[in-house]
């Protein structure tokens, strides 16, 4: 099963991709996570991407496309993948389609996480993450067992630099201008599945699992 997760930052794409991938043996390919790892490791890609990411703008299509194609090509032993936060522009969506056709693959569905601006801002400003294993928490909605400490490995949780209020506003603007048109792109291809994403994580996950059963 080859899925794309669409939606504004804070819609829950990462949280739900983590849960679904674990259950269904799918690879979770999160463009933002792969970019952040490159920044942390100081790779040539990370050096180019760092300032752009901190400002809340998008890294160039060419860099992100190549990065994601490499990630897909090197997958082994999974039953498919979830692309989380990719594609994010029409150019990326077209390039992905061409790439998958060349690999004799195609998308099963594009899941659109439909979340309101109010909910998204609240989620992003309370979001915390484990710098070691990547597990995502929320100070109110999904707190760790011990305050500010990862349940999995005991690391101190961190806040992403681009989750500051000013940068959140910019990221939402970028979403509306560059990424929202992908909803129509995938609807035209009859791949779009809308999921109401304002609810809490367990109820959204239930809806997703139903979709997943239907698609399998």
How many helices (H) does the chain have, and how many strands (E)? 9, 7
- Sign, CA dihedral 113-183-80-134, equals negative
Catalytic position from the list 50, 127, 128, 135 = 127
Within positions 158 to 187, which residues make up the interface with ligand AMP, using CB under 6 A? 162, 171
Catalytic position from the list 50, 88, 123, 135 = 88
CA 110 to chain centroid, in Å, comes to 12
- Told to judge if 36 belongs to the known catalytic residues of this protein, a careful annotator would answer no
* Nearest distance from C-beta of residue 84 to ligand AMP, angstroms: 7
Catalytic position from the list 13, 36, 50, 123 = 13
Q: How far apart are CA 6 and CA 9, in angstroms?
A: 9
CB-based closest residue to ligand AMP: 32
Within positions 98 to 157, which residues make up the interface with ligand AMP, using CB under 6 A? none
DSSP string, 148-170: TB-TTT-PBPB--GGGSHHHHHH
Token pair, residue 128, equals 């915390």
Q: Tell me the HSE value of 48 on the side-chain side, using a 13 A CA sphere.
A: 11
**Stretch near ligand AMP under the rule CB under 6 A, chosen from 48-56, 73-81, 106-114, 188-196:** 48-56
- Contacts with ligand AMP by CB under 6 A lie at 9, 31-32, 35, 52-53, 56-59, 64, 85-88, 92, 162, 171
Please give the positions annotated as active site. Answer: 13, 88, 127, 160, 171
């Amino acid at each position: 099963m080859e899925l794309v997760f669409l939606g504004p930052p804070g819609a829950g794409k990462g949280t739900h991709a983590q849960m679904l991938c674990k259950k269904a043996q799918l690879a979770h390919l999160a463009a933002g996570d792969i970019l952040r790892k490159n920044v942390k490791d100081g790779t040539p890609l990370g050096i180019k991407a760092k300032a752009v990411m901190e400002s809340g703008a998008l890294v160039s299509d060419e860099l992100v496309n190549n990065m994601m194609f490499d990630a897909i090509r090197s997958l082994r032993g999974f039953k498919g993948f979830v692309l989380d936060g990719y594609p994010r522009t029409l150019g990326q969506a077209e390039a992905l389609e061409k790439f998958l056709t060349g690999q004799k693959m195609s998308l099963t569905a594009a899941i659109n996480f439909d979340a309101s601006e109010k909910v998204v801002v609240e989620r992003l400003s309370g979001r915390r993450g484990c710098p070691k294993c990547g597990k995502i928490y929320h100070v109110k909605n999904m707190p760790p067992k011990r305050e500010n400490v990862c349940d999995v490995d005991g690391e101190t949780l961190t806040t992403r630099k681009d989750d500051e209020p000013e940068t959140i506003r910019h990221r939402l603007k970028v979403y509306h201008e560059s990424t929202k048109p992908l909803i129509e792109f995938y609807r035209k291809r009859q791949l779009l599945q809308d999921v109401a994403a304002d609810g809490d994580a367990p109820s959204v996950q239930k809806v997703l699992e139903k979709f997943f059963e239907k698609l399998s």
